[in-house]
Structure 1
Amino acid sequence: MKDLIRKWDQISLVKRILIGIIIGIILAITIPDAVKWITIFGSLFVGALKAVAPILVLFLVMSAISKHKSGQQTNMKSILGLYAIGTFLAGVTGVIASFLFPVSLTLTTGAEGVTPPSGIVEVLKSLLFNIVDNPVNALLNANYIGILTWAIVLGIALKHASDSTKDMLSNFSDAISQLVKWVISLAPLGIMGLVFDAIVTSGLSALLDYGKLLLVLLGCMFFVALVVNPIIVYMNTRKNPFPLVLQCLRESGITAFFTRSSAANIPVNMSLCEKLKLDKDTYSVSIPLGATINMAGAAVTISVLTLAAVHTLGIQVDFATAVILSVLSAISAAGASGVAGGSLLLIPLACSLFGIPNDIAMQVVGVGFIIGVLQDSCETALNSSSDVLFTATAEYAKNRKEGKGLVNKKTA
């Protein structure tokens, strides 16, 4: 048994996850009733990730800020710029694709019990109140904006603390990081349960009626992941972007696809950043922040589904309004919650730009929930993998500039 476990551990995590996916699919197709109990593995895995992520973020950021020395450079400005550019271009991609391949919907019901925000002011107001949330409440509700705020403030306050206090924070941070590694090692089992549950409960038959809409949505997301993002990476690093892009999709995107939660994928992204040997002071802040505001997939969902409603109602859209929709999609996406279906609640906000009544907009949200088994999974995979991608891009770009500067000095 020990030899078997050792051999299993020697297989790369991605290969183990793929094995889990294959087993989950086979069990769901062949003997779903006999092994229904394996769905608990998926629930336990996601629950464990969600449980450890808030504490991980709090201690990592506190420890990093408290030990940060004056004059020590981080890449947060560059990363925030990349987050903004990536999300905006994703919104533009969704708008262009919707004009090239217009989709009309057969409106449905099914979202009557959901209350969307009434406007962009409410979204921004919610973000501001999350910043000043009670720290205990922020931890309990996985409010990462609030957790980040308290971690940064406490980290600054502890900069003048004794070395023993800082060492204690660092020890807690390392211990929680080790817990994360233990949880992630169970990913193959957890994802097997998630795949089994998704196929048995949702199936794919309900998606056939919305095939064209799904093709536009998923096509946009794949285009952003494999064309737009690589261009952004190349423009900053001047190196072949695909090894990094594909590694982020493989090692972050796969788990995000099945957990369908950017927040739950924070520990996975932290582990990948450590594997890429990125600066811990930077990624300990940029990854949880990205899980909240870096939402390229959400921008695609908001723009495509909004324009589907527009085409269904026969509303004419001019160029200026399309640009405004791209900006609004990006801003709204940054306010989307990092949970399954979070972006769908912001569709009525974008629909209001075209004067579409709320009852019709909510029917579009209902369509979103129907196709959510694929749409939300791909959206989260794009969102979460981009967090690591842009964090790494900013650091590699900084290293390239510093290396070029060093060469110029030697030449001079």
Structure 2
Amino acid sequence: MKNAISKWNQISLVKRILLGIIAGIALALTIPKAAGWISIFGTLFVGALKAVAPILVFFLVMHAISKHRSGHKTNMKSIIALYGLSTFLAGLVAVVASFIFPVTLSLAPGAEDVTPPGGIAEVLKTLLTNVVDNPVNALINGNYIGILTWAILFGIALRNAADTTKNMLANFSDAISTLVKWVINLAPIGIMGLVFDAIVTNGLSALLDYGKLLAILLGSMFFIALVVNPLIVFLNIRRNPYPLVLRCLRESGITAFFTRSSAANIPVNMSLCEKLGLDEDTYSVSIPLGATVNMAGAAVTISVLTLAAVHTLGIQVDFGTALILSVLSAVSAAGASGVAGGSLLLIPLAASLFGIPDDVAMQVVGVGFIIGVLQDSCETALNSSSDVLFTATAEYAKKRKEGQAVKMSA
């Protein structure tokens, strides 16, 4: 048994996850009732990730800030700029795609039990309220804006603490990181359960009626992941971006696709940053921040579904208004990423830009929930994998500039 486990662990995690996916599909298609207990593995895996992620973020960020050396650059300005640019371009690509391939919907009542934000002011108010949330409450509820805020403040306050205190923080961070590695090693079994549950519960037949809408949504997301993001990376590092892009999609995007939670994927992204040899002072802050504000996939969802409602109602849209929609979808996606229901609940906010009443907009939200099996999975994979992508891009760009400076001085 020990030898079998050792050989299993020697196989790359991605290959083990693919085996888990195949096993989940096979069990769901052959013995869905007899193997119903398999889905519990998915529930336990996501629950474990969500449980450990807030504590991991809190201690890693606090430790990184407390030991931060004065004058040591962390690239956070560059990373935040890349996050914002990618999210805006995602909204713009979705708007252009929706005009080239207009989609109309057969609206039906649905999702009456959810309440969208009342406006951009409410979105920003929620964001600011999360900043000053009680730290214990933030940890319990997975409020990453609050967790980040308190971790940074505690870290700054502890910068002049004794070395023994900082060593204790380092020991806690290392212990939690070890726990995270244990949880991540269970990904193949967890994802097998998630795949099994998704196929048995939802199937794919319900998605056929919305094939064109899904094609626009997923096509836009793939275009962002495989064209726009690589172009952004190339302009910064000036070399072939695809090895880095594909590795992020493979090692971060796959798990994010099945967990459907950027927060749950934070430990996975932290582990990938460590493998890439990135600066821990930077990624310990940029990864949890990205899980909150780097929402290119959400911007795509908001723009495409809003314009589907616009086309359905025959509303004429000029380029200026479409551009405003791109900005609005980017800002609202980042500011309200922690709202229950994710990007779908931001659709009424964007729809109000065109005078669409809430009752119609909420029907569009209902359509979103129907296609959410694929839409939300791909959205999370794009969002989460690009957190690592842009963190690495900023660091590689910095090293390239430093190398150029050395050559010029020589």
Please tell me the TM-score bracket, short chain as reference: over 0.9
Aligned to 1:349: 349
Q: Is the 8 A contact 1:23 1:192 kept in 2?
A: yes
Matches within 5 A, 1:56-135: 56-135=56-135
Q: Is the 8 A contact 1:262 1:339 kept in 2?
A: no
Q: Is the 8 A contact 2:57 2:288 kept in 1?
A: yes
**Is 1:184 equivalent to 2:184 in the alignment?**
yes
Give the secondary structure class of the aligned counterpart of 1:315. Answer: coil
Return the letter of the residue paired with 1:399. K
| Runs of 4+ residues deviating >4 angstroms | none
Q: CA RMSD in A?
A: 0.8
Size of the aligned set, in residue pairs, is 410
**Is 1:386 equivalent to 2:386 in the alignment?**
yes
Return the letter of the residue paired with 1:5. I
Aligned to 2:155: 155
Give the secondary structure class of the aligned counterpart of 2:34. Answer: coil
Q: Is the 8 A contact 1:130 1:143 kept in 2?
A: yes
Cα distance per residue 1:146-179 (max 9 Å; x no partner) = 0000000000000000000000001000000000
- Alpha-carbon separation, structure 1, partners of 2:25 and 2:294: 31
Aligned to 1:224: 224
Matches within 5 A, 1:369-408: 369-408=369-408
Q: Is the 8 A contact 1:291 1:338 kept in 2?
A: no
Aligned to 2:366: 366
Report the Cα offset of residue 341 of structure 1: 3.8
Return the letter of the residue paired with 1:98. S
- Alpha-carbon separation, structure 2, partners of 1:165 and 1:56: 18
Q: Is the 8 A contact 2:126 2:336 kept in 1?
A: no
Aligned to 1:209: 209
Aligned to 2:281: 281
Q: Is the 8 A contact 1:21 1:192 kept in 2?
A: yes
Aligned to 2:175: 175
- Alpha-carbon separation, structure 2, partners of 1:250 and 1:70: 36
Report the Cα offset of residue 335 of structure 1: 2.0
Aligned to 1:164: 164
- Alpha-carbon separation, structure 2, partners of 1:249 and 1:72: 30
Give the secondary structure class of the aligned counterpart of 1:102. Answer: coil
- Alpha-carbon separation, structure 1, partners of 2:204 and 2:148: 38
Report the Cα offset of residue 402 of structure 1: 0.4
Aligned to 1:198: 198
Report the Cα offset of residue 339 of structure 1: 7.6
Return the letter of the residue paired with 2:109. T
Identity of aligned residues (%): 80
TM-score (norm 2): 0.99
Give the secondary structure class of the aligned counterpart of 2:315. Answer: coil
Q: Is the 8 A contact 1:341 1:372 kept in 2?
A: no
Q: Is the 8 A contact 1:105 1:309 kept in 2?
A: yes
Return the letter of the residue paired with 1:126. T
Aligned to 1:42: 42
Report the Cα offset of residue 337 of structure 1: 2.5
Q: Is the 8 A contact 1:263 1:338 kept in 2?
A: no
Matches within 5 A, 1:183-332: 183-332=183-332
TM-score (norm 1): 0.99
Cα distance per residue 1:321-348 (max 9 Å; x no partner) = 0110010010011023358840000000
Return the letter of the residue paired with 1:40. I
CA 1:339 to 1:258, structure 2 compared with 1: closer, same or farther past 3 Å? farther
- Alpha-carbon separation, structure 1, partners of 2:207 and 2:340: 17
Return the letter of the residue paired with 1:375. Q
Aligned to 1:5: 5
User: Which residues of structure 2 form unaligned runs of 5+?
Assistant: none
